[in-house]
Each structure stands twice: as C-alpha cells, then as structure tokens.
Amino acid sequence: MIELKIDNRTVEANEGETVLQAALRHGIEIPHFCYHPCLSIAGNCRICLVKVTGRPKLMPSCNLAVTPGMEIETDSDDVIAARQAVMQFITLNHPGECGICDKAGECRLQDYHVRYGEPESISLEPKNKKPKFYDISPRILLDSERCILCSRCVRFTKEVSGSHQLGIVERGNHSRLERLESQPMDDPYSDNIIGLCPVGALLSRDFLYQSRVWYLEPIRSVCTGCSRCCSVKVWRRNRHWHLRSLGEEMNRKVYRVTPQENREINGPWICNKGFDLHKFMGRKRLLQPMIGGSVATVDEALSEAKKLLAAAKSPAALVSAHASNEELAAFKETLGSRMTVYSREDYKAEEGEVVEDNILIRENKNPNSHGVHAMFGDLPWSVDSGHDLVLVWGDNVDYTPMGNAKVIHLASFEMPQERHADVLIPISTTFERSGSFTNFEGKVNRFTKVFDKPGLVQQAGDVFGRLGA
C-alpha cells in the first residue's frame, strides 16, 4: 500500500492506481467526464485537474499514478479556476436544452455546471451548429451539439465490443462523433454507449421522451435472454409519482432496462437483447384459465387438472428453463416423484440474432437450464415416449409432438395452437415474482418482483402445491 495526502487527508492507495481511482475509492469526489473504470485512459476532458505539491502545473488525476508521500489538492483556487475554464470551454457550443433532454436528471455536465461552472458564459460569439437527432443506428440517435467529445463511446466499440464502428472525425470546432462505415451500426452491444455518454448526446429511440428519470425507480432483476443471466435494472414508475388520468397500465409499464453492475457475471454491460427485455415481457399475456378452450375459474381449472393427474397411468412433465430455482424446488417436492420429468428449452436463437460470442452472449437462450439439469437431469422429450398425460410448464410450446396425451399447460404468454390444452393455467412472469436463476457457470443471480401479478394469474409454486395436495 502507498500512503498519500488528498486535501490534507491521509489515504492508502494500491500500487499502480491513479490519483482519481484512489480518491473515488475513498469517497473523495474529483469531477470527470472521459474516465471510466472499464475503459482506457483518454485524458481529454481535463475536468479532473488537480494540484500536486512540488509541480508547477495542474495535472489530470485520471492519468497521474500515485507515489509515496504525494500531496494533492482538489479544491485550491487555481484548481477551481481551471475547472471553471474547462466548463466554459465544454459548454461553449453546448445547446441549452436541459428542459427537453432525456439525460436531464442523470447528466454530469448539468451537475458539474451547477457545482463548478461560472454563472454566465463569457462568450459573445454565436454557438457552432452541428447535426441534431442524427441516426447512427436504428436504435440510437446522436445529437452532435450536445456531444463533449469525451470519446467513451469510441473506446467502448474498440476495447469492449470490438466493432470499431465509431470514431471522432474533423478537427477543432468541427470535430464530431461519426460512424466509420456507411452502413448503420450493428454492434450487438451498442446500447451500452447510451449509458456511457455523460451528457444527452446519445439517445435511445425506445426511451426518447417517455419519462423523466426522477419519476422512475430501478428494480434489480435478471435478464432472461440467455444462460449468462446478466443483472439488470428494470425501471418502473415510482409509486409516489403514479399516474391516474392516463390509466393504470402506465403504472405497470417498464420504461427502460439498463445494466446493473455485477462483477461476477456481466460486469457493467449487457447486450442489446437485455436492453429489450421489457419488450419480450410485454407480449400479449394469458390472463384467463381455460378448460378445453372454454373459460373457467381458477378453482375449476385446478380441480380438472387434479382429476387428470389422478387418472393418468403414465404422466410426464416438461419443465421450463425459465422457471426459478424456488419454483423448481416446489415442483420437485410436490409432483416431481409422481411423473417422468423432461427438461426443455423454451426459446432458441431467432433469425439474425447473435448466437454466441466471447463477451457475454451464450448459445442457450434460456436463463435457468443449469438449474433444471442440476435438479432433474437433462432427459430430452421423445415423441414416442408413450405418456398419456403431459404437464407442460413454460411458453413457446407446440402440442403436436404430444400426440393424444392429455395436456395441462402452465404458461404466461399467448401462442396460437392447432388444438386446445385440456387445462390451461396462466402463471406469472419473471417481473411478477421474486426468485433466482443459476447461470451456465453455476452462479446464482437473484431477481426482485417488479409488479403485482394480474388477478387470475397464478404463481407456479402455488399451483404445484394445490395439485400435489
């Protein structure tokens, strides 16, 4: 460990750390735009300048290695003057659009201008105009007037995603972010640069003008897009800001999904499929129990399912890889010993989707296959298995391979079938329950309930408890 002083406070730093890293680790704020812990050091914003005792010039703390006995000042008069000058330079051509900018409430430039900037601009020249709301991909808009050229997005495409699709072109006042190829950006991790951007230059088409962030709250959840099980934040309407006149559905809406940093599983990133998790969960739901295609009550459907199970001579269960570990345990305790259990993958890779890469994306497009296999094995379904009843658990199922067997289906989303299930019971989604998944590496990741389930929708664990009683 190396000892140094920051603002007359003695702190310890690790060998190889920079002054900025040491300060942030000890809760000492040094403003920064271009620095990010998962990207290379650029040192081009200069807002992190500090004074080093014994050196004549201010130094960028993001690129200044700690040394024993070093003395740092972060709030001296010359440091404050330098920050004000940097803020003047950065905001010289920046449009005053905080009132309509999606980044308002999360914008570092806005926060730093209040804390460190001068109250009025000293520039008398008109602002330089640049392209606004420019498509850099079907998912992302670029407002070049708001861009402060921190280069975070450029470094992300070079160092993390490896697509090399962004760069800074031209010089001086004409410098701007641009695609380096004529075709649209197709980086499967591109939406991460929206969160990386410290200002409102990179905008999500999906979230554009949907809500102010201070009306929302993030709920920790898990992406179900593949067996990586990345940690995510699901943003819902804060209960203190619930809407009334626009309808209750606005309060049950997921406004966006963003990464939740998890060093063990996904770091600070997720893929674009993770950003679209709310669209996947927003498909048309099953909300009504059915018996042979006719509407039924919950009690009637469960009673009929129980009769079918009692009458079956060779029952089987197809277990969902989207089920939580807790639901799997409930099934094993109540029904698992009474039937042959087969594992199934609810979803496969869709056309045009990245199947697998060496960053995050996995070939298995289900979150809990590892948990299913650990508890029940990996016996695949066979068309000629000879079962007279099949309890199907999960979505995206075709009844045709089940032949003449009776079908009890527990599902969350609607899907057209050539025949009706003998009993259909709607169950909750990942957003409507709490639990955990076990990813392909055997790491357990927990998710939290985002919304209450609809009235007639059941929790799978409760269904198994009643069927097994």
pLDDT in tens, 134-158: 889 999 999 999 999 999 999 999 9
Q: For 219-281, which CATH class?
A: mainly beta
pLDDT of the residue at 300: 96
pLDDT of the residue at 415: 87
Positions of CATH 2.20.25 in the chain: 219-281
Tell me the per-residue pLDDT of 93-109, one tens digit each, with 9 for 90 and over: 899 889 899 999 999 99
Nearby residues of 348 by Cβ (< 8 Å), 6 or more positions away: 365
- d(C-alpha 356, C-alpha 365), whole Å: 10
Q: What is the mean pLDDT of residues 51-79?
A: 95
**In this structure, how many other beta carbons lie within 10 angstroms of the beta carbon of residue 245?**
5
Tell me the per-residue pLDDT of 324-368, one tens digit each, with 9 for 90 and over: 999 999 999 999 888 999 998 999 999 889 999 999 999 999 999
Positions of CATH 3.40.50.740 in the chain: 290-467
DSSP assignment of 40-100 equals -----S-TTEEEETT-SS-EEGGG-B--TT-EEESSSHHHHHHHHHHHHHHTSS----TTT
Helix (H) or strand (E) holding 447: strand 444-447
pLDDT of the residue at 180: 86
pLDDT of the residue at 332: 94
Q: What is the DSSP letter of 18?
A: B
- d(C-alpha 336, C-alpha 327), whole Å: 12
Positions of CATH 3.10.20.740 in the chain: 2-90
Tell me the per-residue pLDDT of 199-224, one tens digit each, with 9 for 90 and over: 999 999 999 999 999 999 999 999 99
The fraction of the chain above a pLDDT of 70, given in percent, is: 100
Indicate whether 384 pLDDT > 90.
no
Indicate whether 244 pLDDT > 90.
no
Indicate whether 125 pLDDT > 90.
no
Q: What is the DSSP letter of 288?
A: S
- Give residue for tokens 């900018």: 101
DSSP assignment of 232-283 equals EEEEEE-GGG--STT-GGGGG-EEEEEE--BTTTTBT---HHHHTHHHHHTS
Positions of CATH 3.30.70.20 in the chain: 134-204
- At residue 120 the predicted structure's pLDDT band, cuts being 50, 70 and 90, is confident
Second CATH level (architecture) for the domain 134-204: 2-Layer Sandwich (3.30)
In CATH, what number does 290-467 get? Answer: 3.40.50.740
CATH topology of domain 2-90: Ubiquitin-like (UB roll) (3.10.20)
Beta-strand ranges (E) seen in 130-240 are: 134-135, 140-142, 166-169, 176-179, 202-204, 216-222, 231-237
Higher-confidence position of 241 and 383: 241
Indicate whether 122 pLDDT > 80.
no
